[in-house]
């Protein structure tokens, strides 16, 4: 683990290029998994509900599952992930962008799903991101997101599926307060694994389901 504190380095570029390079390996490891929280979401929302998949990756397995029932917009900062997602999921719209560079009209979505993505954004942006997501959600809409248990200064690891990768996050203490302040009510928090590989997960992440307040 190395502090990500080099002012000359563009860490978002490092994330985007990292996922460009490791997309094939990550897809291979990730594709067999599915998530009970997506099943839960499917029970809450009507057919054709509008869903944003933030950091959708290659679209497997989550975006494809969502797109069976919902009108899905997938966003990812990695060109290669988006290329793969367009191939894997025909009936969804994919945008190649940093989520922070995008804006959507208020009340565009019934749900936002963000699995294993927010901790790749500099944590100084997380508060603004939550406010954006709250605005983009319809009142009563759902946020389903993996966050992090404990705060960590921004750092990189040298070998995430063969590439250097960046993480940056607060912990649940801070996230609970930030989400409440941004206009969310937390409905549940559970722990889930890292979502790839067949072996027992070496780490777990808090999975938060929150609802946009009226």
Ligand X SMILES: C[S@@+](CC[C@H](N)C(=O)[O-])C[C@H]1O[C@@H](n2cnc3c(N)ncnc32)[C@H](O)[C@@H]1O
For residue 117, how many other CB atoms are within 10 A of its CB?
20
Bridge-based pairing of strands 2-3 and 184-193 is unpaired
At 53 the three-state DSSP class reads strand
85 is a site residue for ligand X (CB under 6 A): no
Q: Show the site string, 28-57: x = touches ligand X by CB under 6 A, - = not.
A: --x------------------------xxx
**Cβ–Cβ under 8 Å, residues 166 and 11:** yes
Question: Does 119 contact ligand X by CB under 6 A?
Answer: no
| Chain-centroid distance, C-alpha 60 | 13
- By C-alpha distance, which of 169, 147, 192 is closest to 40? 192
End-to-end CA distance of the chain: 41
CB of 57 to ligand X, least distance (A): 3
Residues 70, 61: Cα–Cα separation, whole Å: 15
Q: In what order do the strands lie in the sheet with 137-146?
A: 93-96, 71-76, 50-54, 109-114, 137-146, 204-212, 184-193
Nearest approach, Cβ of 181 to ligand X (angstroms)? 21
The footprint of ligand X on this chain (CB under 6 A) covers a number of residues equal to 22
Interacting residues with ligand X between 59 and 78 (CB under 6 A):
62, 75-78
- Choose between 37 and 110: whose C-beta lies nearer to ligand X: 37
Backbone angles phi, psi at 71, to 5 degrees: -90, 110
Residues numbered 164 to 193 that lie near ligand X (CB under 6 A) are none
Least Å from the CB of residue 70 to ligand X: 15
Q: By C-beta, is 99 or 137 nearer to ligand X?
A: 99
Taking contact as CB under 6 A, which single stretch among the options 95-103, 134-142, 169-177, 202-210 is the one that binds ligand X? 95-103
Q: What is the greatest pairwise CA distance in the chain? A: 47
Nearer to ligand X, 22 or 210 (CB): 22
Please select the residue that binds ligand X; options are 11, 15, 37, 167, rule is CB under 6 A.
Answer: 15
Residue 81 or 176: the one with the smaller Cβ distance to ligand X is 81
Site of interaction with ligand X (CB under 6 A): 12, 15, 19, 30, 55-57, 62, 75-78, 81, 98-100, 115-117, 120-121, 195
């Amino acid at each position: 683990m190395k502090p990500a504190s080099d002012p000359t380095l563009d860490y978002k570029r490092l994330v985007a290029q990292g996922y460009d390079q490791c997309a094939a390996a990550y897809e291979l490891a990730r594709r067999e998994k599915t998530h009970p929280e997506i099943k839960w979401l499917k029970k809450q929302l009507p057919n054709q509900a509008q869903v944003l998949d933030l950091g959708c990756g290659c679209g497997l397995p989550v975006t494809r599952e969502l797109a069976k029932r919902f009108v899905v917009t997938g966003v990812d900062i990695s060109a290669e992930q988006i290329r793969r997602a367009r191939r894997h999921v025909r009936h969804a719209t994919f945008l190649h962008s940093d989520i922070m560079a995008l804006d959507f009209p208020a009340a565009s979505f019934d749900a936002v799903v963000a699995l294993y993505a927010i901790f790749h954004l500099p944590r100084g942006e997380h508060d603004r991101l939550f406010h954006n997501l709250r605005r983009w959600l319809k009142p009563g809409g759902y946020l389903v997101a993996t966050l992090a248990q404990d705060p960590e200064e921004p750092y990189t690891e040298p070998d995430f599926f063969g590439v250097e990768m960046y993480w940056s996050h607060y912990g649940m203490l801070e996230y609970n307060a930030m989400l409440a302040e941004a206009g969310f009510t937390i409905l549940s928090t559970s722990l889930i694994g890292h979502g790839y590989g067949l072996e027992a997960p070496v780490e777990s992440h808090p999975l938060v389901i929150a609802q946009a307040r009226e």
